[in-house]
Amino acid sequence: MISIFRSFNPLNALWLVLVLFLSRLGYLFHVPDKLQFIFVEPFARLLVPVSYEYAFSPALNVLLAAVLVFIQALLFNYLINFHNLLGKPTFLPALMYITLSGLFTPFLMLSGPLICNFLLIWMLFKAFSLYKGDDAKSTVYDMGMIVALGSLIYLPFIYMFLAIWIALILFKPFNWREWVAGILGYSTVFFFLAVFYYLNDRIAYFSNIWLPLGTKFPDHISINSYNYLLLIPVILILVLCFFKLQQNFFKSYVQTRKSFQLLFFIFLIAAFSFYVNAAFHLDHFLLCIAPAAVFFAYFFLYATRKWFYEGLFLLLLISIICFQFNKF
């Protein structure tokens, strides 16, 4: 299957649909009677004055989530090929994105992190354009607004603001106006939110929005031990990818090297911002799949032993399907 997606063929979109279906098939047999969809954070609930949490049936919820993932995968694939991060056009980023989006069952339903992945892809479009852009202030301002919008949907997305400054460090010489532009972009959205609070006589509660940011980082998290088994092929592929990257790192263009560094930092920011939520949910790690998909695609594109990389991907896909059919 990897060999099919190594080339850039529009017909591969049909194969993507097949992988999307297979990676969600097992969950449809165990879908709960009710699935809650939280579109915005509680502090932004006033902006959506309708009841929507259970507006979709469980099957429709999973179907809509799959459609969103498919659209995101195509957008993400276009982004990676447009900036030539892998050195050649390919459909592997889309394949890896769809595969990783089915890793855990909480990934398969509508959620705030899933919606925020649209904003993350949008941010990456703008971040990668900084390298060749002359005046980055407007781009950084837009990125600040994107982070603010994501924070309304899912508060831990606020830490993606760090990715803006990291992108400026990697792609641009220091200019304090560009650094301030991101803050202004973020503040613009929350200024209008403050006005909305004021008009609804809730301005006294506005400062409570950021209280979760003071949550102590947990010393342990509660997760089903069987989920760790699914991470074995994921970690193995990531380790092999970093070895492959190390071999070819200085052979790549400067922009490509800096882009991979940015993706690595975004992966870390997404992974370690989970603690902001009062309750731990696995769907938070949907924010990690975009950078991880690039690393996966890089490994599978340049791996040389067909029996090994095809078998490794098949192991990952079969593991995902088996864990959906078994509730343990």
pLDDT tens for 121-136 read 999 999 998 888 777 8
Average pLDDT score over the chain: 86
Neighbours of 116 (CB within 10 A): 26
On the question of pLDDT at 219 being above 60, the answer is no
How is residue 140 written in tokens?
Answer: 């950084």
Give the up-direction half-sphere exposure of residue 170: CA atoms within 13 A in the CB hemisphere.
24
Contact present, 150 and 157 (Cβ < 8 Å): yes
Cα–Cα nearest to 183, from 198, 204, 161, 168: 161
* φ, ψ for residue 36, nearest 5 deg: -90, 135
- Mind listing the pLDDT tens digit for each residue in 169-217? 999 888 889 999 999 999 999 999 999 888 888 888 888 888 877 777 6
pLDDT tens digits along 1-49: 788 888 888 888 888 999 898 888 777 777 777 787 877 888 888 787 7
Which carries the bigger pLDDT value, residue 97 or residue 230?
Answer: 97
> What tokens appear for 137 in the block?
């202030």
Q: Mean pLDDT over residues 288-302, rounded? A: 92
Torsion of CA 298, 299, 304, 305, to 10 degrees: -150
Q: What type of residue is 268?
A: L
Tens digit of each residue's pLDDT (9 = 90 or more) over 77-101: 999 999 989 888 999 999 999 999 9
Q: Is a pLDDT exceeding 90 seen at residue 149?
A: yes
- Is the distance from CB of 55 to CB of 226 less than 8 angstroms? no
pLDDT band at 226 (very low <50, low <70, confident <90, very high): low
Residue for token pair 């991060």: 85
